[in-house]
Structure 1
Amino acid sequence: MAVERTYIMLKPDCVRRGLMGRVISRIEDKGYKIVDAKMMHLTSDKLREHYAHLVDKPFYPNLEAFMMSGPVLAMIVEGENAILGMRNLMGATKFEDAAAGTIRGDFANTTTENLIHGSDSPETAGAEIKRFFG
């Protein structure tokens, strides 16, 4: 097993609904360590960079508007196999596919407003950590 760092973002709906503490507790209860965190407001430019693979999709304007609707909590999470472990803890992207016991399965009620983002590979984690933490 390898200690990894991954990028995790609690989205505006998570912040707005007062779920940050519950989500952070799940991350820490799983044995992961939050090694850096900051509240931030995302810009259109930053979102276009982050979601470059989605910018041409018809739903992108709604996604961008949602992600700019309030602050997010950006975090660097560290631990054994943190990338896959956090992906499992978050649950499926589509809220209706997310299993009970996962963050999205227990708290999300739409696919756009699905509470949390996490890197999907070591390469993506490195790029996202650099993008949001320098």
Structure 2
Amino acid sequence: MERTLVLLKPDCVERRLIGRILGRFEDKGLNIIAMKLIRITPDLAKQHYAEHVSKPFYPGLESFITAAPVVALVLEGLEAISVVRGILGATSGLKAEAGTIRGDFSSSRQMNLVHASDGPEAAKREIELYFQPEEVLDYKPTLTPWMRADDE
């Protein structure tokens, strides 16, 4: 099983798309093992986007991500990182395929609704930024045997 951090960004929350987006992940068989509504502080934004802090676009990114609440969640499943990124579509909603979250709900390069970890190291680091170990629940939903084979 693989875990990934997902943030439903301020534009997603403000547009009241939380339930529709969560449904996409659940429909795919991913398990939500941690979730909370939070306000990202400028300090947390700097930690999360550390590689971008010195870039010219960073002030706008920080202003956006701290402007309204976000829903932070940890998803778990087979190949969760690549599966989630596929569900999201291309970073720019203008280039994302129809049927993906960004392709269906975003028409912007910047307002792209959802952040997802881009690899296992990033997922581990990002999950630790947003959740204490006791907030991530290890459980197996009763429908799991109907979603994938025992040997997967």
Shorter-chain TM-score bucket reads: over 0.9
One-letter code aligned to 2:29: G
In structure 2, what is the equivalent of residue 72 of structure 1?
70
Alpha-carbon offset, residue 121 of structure 1: 0.6
Quick one: distance in 2 between partners of 1:95 and 1:59?
Answer: 18
Which amino acid letter does the alignment assign opposite residue 80 of structure 1?
L
Q: Can you list the C-alpha shifts for 1:78-133, whole angstroms capped at 9, x where unaligned?
A: 00110000010011112222111100111012122110000011111000000100
Of residues 14, 17, 25 in structure 2, which corresponds to 1:16?
A: 14
Give TM-score, length-normalised by structure 2.
0.85
Question: Is 1:60 the counterpart of 2:58 in the alignment?
Answer: yes
Matching residue's letter, 1:25? G
Aligned counterparts, 1:19-58, within 5 A: 19-58=17-56
- 1:122 maps to 120
Tell me the SS of whatever aligns to 2:94: helix
SS at match of 1:53: helix
Q: 5+ unaligned residues in a row in structure 2: which ranges?
A: 133-152
Q: Distance in 1 between matches of 2:42 and 2:17?
A: 25
Q: Where in structure 1 do 4 or more consecutive aligned residues deviate above 6 Å?
A: none
**What runs of 5+ residues in structure 1 fail to find an aligned partner?**
none
Q: Percent of aligned positions with the same letter in both sequences? A: 49
> Which position in structure 2 is the counterpart of 1:110?
108
TM-score normalised over the length of structure 1: 0.96
Further displaced range: 17-26 or 89-98: 89-98
| More off after superposition, 79-88 vs 93-102 | 93-102
SS in 1 for 2:52: coil
The farther-off stretch of 32-41 and 107-116 is 107-116
- Aligned amino acid, residue 90 of structure 2: A
In 1, Cα distance between equivalents of 2:23 and 2:109: 23
